[in-house]
């Protein structure tokens, strides 16, 4: 646990490194600490890439960016979930390897995430409301794609 959700996400990332037995990640996923939809639908991407989900917000960019610099392999990918209103580019100033997955809204971002992972046609997916987090949070533990 951390003092706040952002610090907790960094500590969880350290635990994931330990569980995976790696020194650095090939991929990290970054989502807004202020709203839940992109991070929840990004849980499938994170699982598929063996990547942590790091939360960020204005005022925490130095801490998150330092973590990325210290824990992402050279040439690694930083997936940023959501558009500029969710995670403004200035929050990732100096971070390289950024690939933004975004749509016009949370539904479009969800589709961009699922397309990036390459969810095969016909694969089972979980359908949850986009306006409350409880169902999606419970469903994310299954490791299945969420729509």
Confidence grade of residue 135 (pLDDT, cut at 50, 70, 90): low
The pLDDT tens digits of the residues spanning 98-110 come to 999 999 998 888 8
Report the pLDDT value the prediction gives residue 73, as an integer from 0 to 100.
97
Confidence of residue 6 (pLDDT cuts 50, 70, 90): confident
For 127-140, the three-class secondary structure string (H helix, E strand, C coil) is CCCCCCCHHHHHHH
What's the pLDDT score for residue 107? 84
DSSP E strand boundaries for the chain? 25-32, 53-56, 72-81, 98-101
pLDDT attached to residue 101: 95
Asked if pLDDT for residue 111 goes beyond 90, the answer is no
Longest dimension (CA), the chain: 42
Tell me which of 28 and 139 has the higher pLDDT: 28
Write b or e for each residue in 82-98: b if 16 or more Cβ atoms lie within 10 A of its Cβ, otherwise e: bbeebbbeebbeebeee
pLDDT band at 17 (very low <50, low <70, confident <90, very high): very high
Residue 109, classed as helix, strand or coil, is: helix
pLDDT digits (tens, 9 = 90+) for 45-91: 999 999 999 999 999 889 999 999 999 999 999 999 999 999 999 99
What pLDDT is stored for residue 23 in this prediction? Answer: 96
């Amino acid at each position: 646990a951390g003092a706040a959700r952002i610090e907790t996400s960094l500590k969880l990332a350290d635990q994931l490194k330990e569980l995976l037995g790696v020194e650095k990640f090939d991929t990290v996923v970054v989502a807004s600490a202020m709203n839940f939809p992109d991070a929840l639908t990004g849980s499938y991407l994170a699982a598929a890439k063996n990547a942590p989900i790091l939360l960020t917000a204005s005022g925490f960019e130095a801490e998150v960016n330092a973590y990325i610099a210290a824990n992402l392999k050279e040439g690694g990918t930083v997936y940023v979930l959501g558009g500029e209103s969710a995670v403004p580019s200035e929050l990732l100033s100096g971070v390289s390897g950024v690939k933004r997955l975004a749509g016009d809204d949370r539904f479009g971002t969800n589709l961009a995430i699922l397309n990036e992972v390459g969810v095969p046609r016909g694969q089972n997916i979980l359908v949850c409301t986009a306006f409350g987090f409880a169902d999606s949070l419970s469903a994310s533990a299954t490791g299945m794609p969420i729509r």
